[in-house]
Structure 1
Amino acid sequence: MVLWVQVGAWTYHYSDQGDYTWEQARNFCQTFFTDLVAIQNQQEIEYLNKSLPFHGRYYWIGLRKLGGIWTWVGTGKALSKEAENWALGEPNNRRSNQDCVEIYIQRPQQAGKWNDEPCNRKKKALCYRASCQPFLCSQRGECVETIGSYRCECYPGFHGPECTDVVQCAKLEPKGGPMNCSHPYGDFSYNSTCEFGCHEGFERRGAGVLRCLPSQEWSANIPTCTAVACPVLRAPEKGELNCSHLHGDFTFGSTCAFSCQKGFVLKGPESRECTATGIWTGDATRCEAIACPVLSAPDQGEMHCSHLHGNFTYGSMCAFSCQTGFALVGLQSRECTATGTWTGDTPHCEAVTCPVLRAPEKGELNCSHLHGDFTFGSTCAFSCQKGFVLKGPESRECTATGTWTGDATRCEAIACPVLRAPEKGEMHCSHLHGNFTYGSTCAFSCQKGFVLKGLESRECTAMGIWTGDTPHCEAVTCPVLRAPEKGELNCSHLHGDFTFGSTCAFSCQKGFVLKGPENRECTATGTWTGDATRCEAIACPVLSAPDQGEMHCSHLHGNFTYGSMCAFSCQTGFALVGLQSRECTATGIWTGDTPHCEAISCPVLRAPEKGELNCSHLHGDFTFGSTCAFSCQKGFVLKGPESRECTATGTWTGDAPRCEAISCPVLSPPSRGQLSCSHVHGNFTYNSTCIFSCEEGFVRMGAEMLQCEATGNWTRDPPVCAEDGAFLKQVLAYSSSSALAVAGLVLSGGLIALLAKRLSDREEKRKLLKPTSDLGVPGTFTNSAYDANL
């Protein structure tokens, strides 16, 4: 049975007979209705959730994943983000096959929400029958289903409830050209198009076709017609341009006339016009310069021309010059004029003249002439007699400037190299034709301490060389010196190693002192000044072993000298204070201070408590060899060694002794009595005191207090507790005569009656009170209430 819910012209349908897969559900909806429902808004969801009955498997809707995108199958539109209505945590695509969507109708939680499900599961089909028909919305919009009705979503360019109204654009007015329009929906309305053109000689600026858009605006601005432009003309070089323009500069209808400047002639049309095709009539016009006759360079000369407008034309300038050695006669330049003629006459070149030359003294002259005697190009050669040499150029040439090359030539006596006196020597010369020239002779000698090696005299020959080799002076040689052992040698040599004037300075290495001269000099006789020098080790003060110690030394260069090393040690029981070794330095002093041996210290001892200490010290208080004897005060006995000795290891022999209090025998409370003790140094030890007392009805017989003495004995024997009757008998039996006399006095009269009554009262109290155990001294019992009533 098919059930349905109707809302105006749009109805929802569902079936309560059986369940369907998603494909079966859609086939059902498409067969009997329009399609699976396409939910468009929250109002529709609320309506469905309230109107449809609850089914445990819920309802299929027309939303499915196609190509990974959730799509409404009825319209083919993708689900938009703002239209999503997923339940919490959905879609989860569990097992990657949940491509169809159900809606929770009447669900206790998440009612009306969507959930992705496998498409093969069976659920109720939720269908709808569309209210939209093809004829609705004037075929100018899309019919959209709504609950109980529909609405038209107009296509661009249309508006109104049924999309019957058309968007209107502003009316167009052409600017300078024809316009042709088509209006499918009315004049100058949506989709109207207008085509624009221009007259001959004009071209369009802007879009050729304009269309009315849905925005009520035209697709572009109205185009304009502008005159066709020709290329801009320029005045020809050396010419002028005069133009007239009808529609704008250099546009259709413009005309231009041409003319040339002075000295130039026009080649081409005198005027040109801009046509409708954008080109000018005629060919390009130019101005050509007027020509003059061609010129040539003068003989022995050159010509250099500059042409402004063409070879040998108006404005050309030609400059004339002569080759080297020639001078120009006439104008230096000529110019082509506007009439086609040159300024001035043709120039020519003449050779330059130089001064007449003469042969030098002691020499000869030989000349050749190309262009006349002693003119440009003439050359003259010079030579000298034997024994003389030419000074200046061997030949000279007449130059283009009218001067001869080089300086004046002369003949000078041949020169030998200038001689110098040998170093540390002297030279004496005689010259015939000039210093150190042909015929000069020189004699040589040496200074003191030097000897001449070579010729004593030399002569300058016609070849310009000296006879013999150059002599020299050599310094006298002394024997080679060596550095002393443990020393160094530093020499300065004026004239060669270990020669006359050489000086040698001696020095010693660190830790050594020089014996002999510090410097020696090589004399002119080849001997050294002074005696041989040596280096001796620097001595340090002699060291000795420290008291109670030993010293062992090693000597490199002699006893207690530089480099000597002494090691120190101490005898048993002594420790070294200071450096273990000292070294003799280069300054003659020992490193560090003198070490000494100190007796090893033991910890300071103290007398034991209640004891005394008596020590003897050999090397200092409580040091190696010290002995200490121990003793105790009266009433105490020593426990441990009576004496201890400080050893070489800094420890004492034996363990620390102590003084313990002497003990007395342990006391016990008397029968029918109590004992209370105080212990100064320990239970029942020296100076401990014990007080005895008896129970009610008993009398103490003996001393009330005992004290432990230094002998280990108590001052008296312990007392006993006796009954009162026995006490009276004992008093009468053991008291002396004087005691009896006293007792007689004490017991006389009413005193005896009082005593009897007191004894009777004690007996009654003893029966009522039972003593408890004392937590004090063992064997002693006390009771505070009991004692207070006695």
Structure 2
Amino acid sequence: MGTAAGLQSAGRTWALGSRGICYLGIAAIAWGAVTWVEVGAWTYHYSDRGDYAWEQARNYCQTFFTDLVAIQNKQEIEYLNRSLPFHKRYYWIGIRKLHGIWTWVGTRKALTKEAENWAAREPNNRRSNQDCVEIYIKRPQESGKWNDEPCSQKKKALCYRASCQPFPCSQRGECVETIGSYRCECYPGFHGPECEDVVQCAKLEPKGVRMNCSHPYGDFSYNSTCVFRCQEGFEQRGVDMLRCLPSQQWSADTPTCTAISCPVLSAPDRGELNCSHLHGDFAFGSTCAFSCQTGFALTGPESRECTAAGTWTGDSPRCEAISCPVLSAPDRGELNCSHLHGDFTFRSTCAFSCQTGFALTGPETRECTAAGTWTGDTPRCEAITCPVLRAPDRGELNCSHLHGDFTFGSTCVFSCQTGFVLTGLESHECTATGTWTGDAPRCKAIACPVLNAPDQGELNCSHLHGDFAFGSTCAFSCQTGFVLMGPESRECTATGTWTGDTPQCKAITCPVLSAPDQGELNCSYLHGDFAFGSTCTFSCQTGFVLMGPETRECTATGTWTGDAPRCKAIACPMLSAPSWGELNCSHLHGNFAFGSTCDFSCQTGFVLMGLKSHECTAMGTWTGDTPQCKAISCPVLDPPSRGQLSCSHVHGNFTYNSTCTFSCEEGFLRMGAEMLWCEATGNWTRHAPVCEEDGAPFLKQVLAYSSGTALALAVIVLSGTLIALLAKRLSNREEKKKLLNPTSDLGSPGIFTNAAYDANL
């Protein structure tokens, strides 16, 4: 809370309203002595110099103005943010957390969700003691938003002064401040700009009901009340008082007066009711007459009347049943009665029954009539009889009788002859229902265990007294391929056992089989290994084919069907060596059969075309096609310039063993070998020769036309010419050497020797 001295230094306050910003001078310095210029509307104020805790700020606002500001809409927020100056600690507003709820302190109204204007991650982002609210004015971010802060923080006080007068809205509504003005929120029941109009309800005009009304705001208007009352003997249905509500409706429906009701009467049991009603069913003035049904007599008043007190005159009458004489049970019998209206009275019924072993003679039931007498005569009980019994076939019967032959309580014992057993109860008794306990027994031949034919055998029985019973005999035999081991027949004795042991049929066996070489054996046995009915399947390994039956069966004679099969290797087509080639084979399972391998090779001068090695597969085919031997080729030769070429080819053009002969035209000399031969290496024996011009004819012509001095000159000229020709030939000779012997410079011998070459120059 600020002090008076602190308020003196406030200096000035600003009034912010619809008329703009007004400077308000402070005329006095004492607490509560502040003066200001009246602007005639809602105004906002703030402390220019002082900063206060929230409670101090509110005291300040309540002292000089009305209270801390209550912001009602976004327009106010925009107005304040635009008009107030920036303050780094911001401004307190009139919201505080009370009992955990954010509340406008000026109006004591809770902050609604729609009116919230919190900044991001607010309120209570620190989760401790932040119960007061500030507003960000001209903040760079989220300007105009709210933030909760500890109430002890010091900030500017943002106040407001109300524009509502002391008695606005005709005292019939709440004055709500707005920017620059106010509006009236009328109390329920009033309306109009100043709440001057009153809500009207419909005029009440009840019938048969006395009404007394009061009208504080006009006849049958808001808060008018009407009280209702009924005459004696009638009661009111509805509320005693109605009030005109703000909704222009009465607080309840108009009450009515109805005659006082008496409890609803009902006819007595076994009786009837006849009523007359003046003001409604079983209401004041109603009268009711009573009567009883046949067999019943009325006890009590014959009529009753409904009084104003809501009670009936007299007591409730009753209809009592008429009585009959008491009955008793017959000798060796019982009596069971049901009484609807009292012991042995009208409509009582009595049922008669007899003790076990006795039957009723006479009526089973008697009924008490409306005349007080019973229907029918008195019944009696007589013993029950059972059918006469006879001894069973091949048996005997012994009986004892208590109440006469074959009557209730009689017992009979049955027995059978030797070799037979009693089927059913040994002792029978005549029951109370006139039947014997159990069915009539029989003497049945003693049974032996049921016999079955042995496996792979047959059973043939004869029965004297039933299947597999005393005296039955059974003969045994075996199927084809089996022999009986044990007795051929057995007999059922009086002890329920068979003579002899159980026979068996044993299968006849065949010799043990084995798998063929390179094969397999797979057998299935019905009654034992290699016994009658066994079947054996033969198969061969990959690359072999079965020769003989695929399956054999053991017959009833102990022999196998068919001969023993064998596995033979699958054969491939026979191979032969290719032309100019050779064939070398190895055979595992026979000539050219599965597993055989053959290698191919060629003679000198030929090369193998195809796979070198072939193998015979399980499919009877060779891996790959048959190869061929092809002659090795040498480079193709061309005739020399100014020469001819003549070749012979044994195995194909320019192939192994081909020979070629060279010759030159007239006036040209062959330089090189006359004939070349294609070797197995794919090379010719020598380099191809060339044809060179011949110089001898020129020399002869010179000598023929020369003589004397001319001859000497010719000799000189010829000598020079020969020298020049010789030099040319030497030069050509070196070139030919390089042409015909290109490897001579590397020190390796050529095809021709130098001597041979010189001889051909």
Please give the TM-score of this superposition, normalised by the length of structure 1.
0.52
Which residue number in structure 2 is paired with residue 351 of structure 1?
Answer: 383
Instruction: Label 1:358 to 1:273 Cα distance change in 2 as closer, same or farther (>3 A).
Output: same
Instruction: Label 1:78 to 1:422 Cα distance change in 2 as closer, same or farther (>3 A).
Output: closer
Which residue number in structure 2 is paired with residue 97 of structure 1?
Answer: 90
Which residue number in structure 1 is paired with residue 109 of structure 2?
Answer: none
Is residue 572–residue 616 contact of structure 2 (8 Å, CA) maintained in 1? no
Query: Structure 1: which 5+ runs fail to align?
Result: 1-11, 46-56, 58-64, 102-114, 600-618, 622-790
Instruction: Label 1:371 to 1:143 Cα distance change in 2 as closer, same or farther (>3 A).
Output: closer
Query: For residues 107-186 of structure 1, what are the structure 2 equivalents within 5 Å?
Result: 172-184=204-216
Q: Deviations over 1:171-224 (max 9, x none)?
A: 544543333333445665554432222334433333432335577765554322
Is residue 576–residue 595 contact of structure 1 (8 Å, CA) maintained in 2? no
Which deviates further from its counterpart, 553-562 or 515-524?
553-562
CA–CA distance in structure 2, aligned partners of residues 579 and 200 of structure 1: 142
Instruction: Label 1:77 to 1:578 Cα distance change in 2 as closer, same or farther (>3 A).
Output: farther
Which residue number in structure 2 is paired with residue 366 of structure 1?
Answer: 398
Which residue number in structure 1 is paired with residue 617 of structure 2?
Answer: 584
CA–CA distance in structure 1, aligned partners of residues 226 and 565 of structure 2: 130
Is residue 175–residue 222 contact of structure 1 (8 Å, CA) maintained in 2? no
Structure 1 vs Structure 2: percent identity of aligned residues? 65
Cα RMSD between the aligned structures?
A: 6.4
1:240 aligns with 2:286: no
Q: 2:524 aligns with which of 491, 497, 510?
A: 491
CA–CA distance in structure 2, aligned partners of residues 91 and 575 of structure 1: 112
Quote the offset at 1:367 in angstroms: 0.7
Q: Which amino acid aligns with 1:181?
A: C
Is residue 601–residue 612 contact of structure 2 (8 Å, CA) maintained in 1? no
Which deviates further from its counterpart, 233-242 or 211-220?
211-220
Instruction: Label 1:590 to 1:183 Cα distance change in 2 as closer, same or farther (>3 A).
Output: same
Is residue 70–residue 93 contact of structure 2 (8 Å, CA) maintained in 1? no
Instruction: Label 1:215 to 1:359 Cα distance change in 2 as closer, same or farther (>3 A).
Output: closer
Is residue 14–residue 127 contact of structure 1 (8 Å, CA) maintained in 2? no
CA–CA distance in structure 1, aligned partners of residues 70 and 497 of structure 2: 120
Q: Deviations over 1:712-748 (max 9, x none)?
A: xxxxxxxxxxxxxxxxxxxxxxxxxxxxxxxxxxxxx
Is residue 578–residue 629 contact of structure 2 (8 Å, CA) maintained in 1? no
Is residue 298–residue 319 contact of structure 2 (8 Å, CA) maintained in 1? yes
CA–CA distance in structure 2, aligned partners of residues 179 and 74 of structure 1: 49
Quote the offset at 1:469 in angstroms: 1.6
Is residue 229–residue 250 contact of structure 1 (8 Å, CA) maintained in 2? yes
CA–CA distance in structure 1, aligned partners of residues 559 and 154 of structure 2: 131
Instruction: Label 1:151 to 1:597 Cα distance change in 2 as closer, same or farther (>3 A).
Output: same
Is residue 326–residue 349 contact of structure 1 (8 Å, CA) maintained in 2? yes
CA–CA distance in structure 2, aligned partners of residues 275 and 523 of structure 1: 121
CA–CA distance in structure 2, aligned partners of residues 313 and 27 of structure 1: 104
Is residue 381–residue 395 contact of structure 1 (8 Å, CA) maintained in 2? yes
Which residue number in structure 1 is paired with residue 229 of structure 2?
Answer: 197
Q: Deviations over 1:356-393 (max 9, x none)?
A: 44445654321111321122332221223434444665
Query: Structure 2: which 5+ runs fail to align?
Result: 1-18, 49-55, 95-143, 146-152, 631-650, 654-761
Which residue number in structure 2 is paired with residue 706 of structure 1?
Answer: none
Which residue number in structure 1 is paired with residue 710 of structure 2?
Answer: none
Which residue number in structure 2 is paired with residue 473 of structure 1?
Answer: 505
Query: For residues 756-771 of structure 1, what are the structure 2 equivalents within 5 Å?
Result: none
CA–CA distance in structure 1, aligned partners of residues 487 and 250 of structure 2: 124
Please give the TM-score of this superposition, normalised by the length of structure 2.
0.53
Q: Secondary structure at the match of 1:248?
A: coil
Is residue 580–residue 595 contact of structure 1 (8 Å, CA) maintained in 2? no
Q: Secondary structure at the match of 2:257?
A: strand
Which residue number in structure 1 is paired with residue 551 of structure 2?
Answer: 519
Q: Secondary structure at the match of 2:500?
A: coil
CA–CA distance in structure 1, aligned partners of residues 39 and 301 of structure 2: 87
Q: Secondary structure at the match of 2:366?
A: strand
Which residue number in structure 1 is paired with residue 99 of structure 2?
Answer: none
Is residue 567–residue 582 contact of structure 1 (8 Å, CA) maintained in 2? no
Quote the offset at 1:280 in angstroms: 5.3
Q: Secondary structure at the match of 2:371?
A: coil
Query: For residues 22-421 of structure 1, what are the structure 2 equivalents within 5 Å?
Result: 31=35, 37-39=40-42, 80-81=72-73, 84=76, 86-87=78-79, 90=82, 95=88, 97-98=90-91, 172-184=204-216, 191-212=223-244, 218-266=250-298, 270-274=302-306, 287-292=319-324, 295=327, 298=330, 308=340, 312-322=344-354, 325-360=357-392, 363-390=395-422, 393-399=425-431, 402=434, 404=436, 414=446, 416=448
Instruction: Label 1:81 to 1:265 Cα distance change in 2 as closer, same or farther (>3 A).
Output: farther
Which residue number in structure 2 is paired with residue 737 of structure 1?
Answer: none
CA–CA distance in structure 1, aligned partners of residues 74 and 286 of structure 2: 67
Is residue 356–residue 432 contact of structure 2 (8 Å, CA) maintained in 1? yes
Quote the offset at 1:344 in angstroms: 0.9
Q: Secondary structure at the match of 1:381?
A: strand
Instruction: Label 1:249 to 1:517 Cα distance change in 2 as closer, same or farther (>3 A).
Output: same
Q: Which amino acid aligns with 1:249?
A: D
Quote the offset at 1:266 in angstroms: 4.6
Q: Secondary structure at the match of 2:545?
A: strand
CA–CA distance in structure 2, aligned partners of residues 507 and 578 of structure 1: 33
Which deviates further from its counterpart, 359-368 or 86-95?
86-95
Is residue 26–residue 35 contact of structure 2 (8 Å, CA) maintained in 1? no
Quote the offset at 1:351 in angstroms: 2.5
CA–CA distance in structure 1, aligned partners of residues 177 and 421 of structure 2: 133
CA–CA distance in structure 1, aligned partners of residues 170 and 269 of structure 2: 74
Is residue 400–residue 412 contact of structure 2 (8 Å, CA) maintained in 1? yes
Is residue 487–residue 508 contact of structure 1 (8 Å, CA) maintained in 2? yes
Which residue number in structure 2 is paired with residue 461 of structure 1?
Answer: 493
CA–CA distance in structure 2, aligned partners of residues 260 and 620 of structure 1: 151
Quote the offset at 1:27 in angstroms: 6.0
Quote the offset at 1:584 in angstroms: 3.3
CA–CA distance in structure 1, aligned partners of residues 362 and 224 of structure 2: 90
Q: Which amino acid aligns with 2:90?
A: N
Q: Secondary structure at the match of 1:226?
A: strand
CA–CA distance in structure 2, aligned partners of residues 200 and 339 of structure 1: 50
CA–CA distance in structure 1, aligned partners of residues 584 and 311 of structure 2: 127
CA–CA distance in structure 2, aligned partners of residues 176 and 365 of structure 1: 101
Is residue 241–residue 258 contact of structure 1 (8 Å, CA) maintained in 2? yes
Instruction: Label 1:381 to 1:218 Cα distance change in 2 as closer, same or farther (>3 A).
Output: closer
CA–CA distance in structure 1, aligned partners of residues 464 and 184 of structure 2: 141
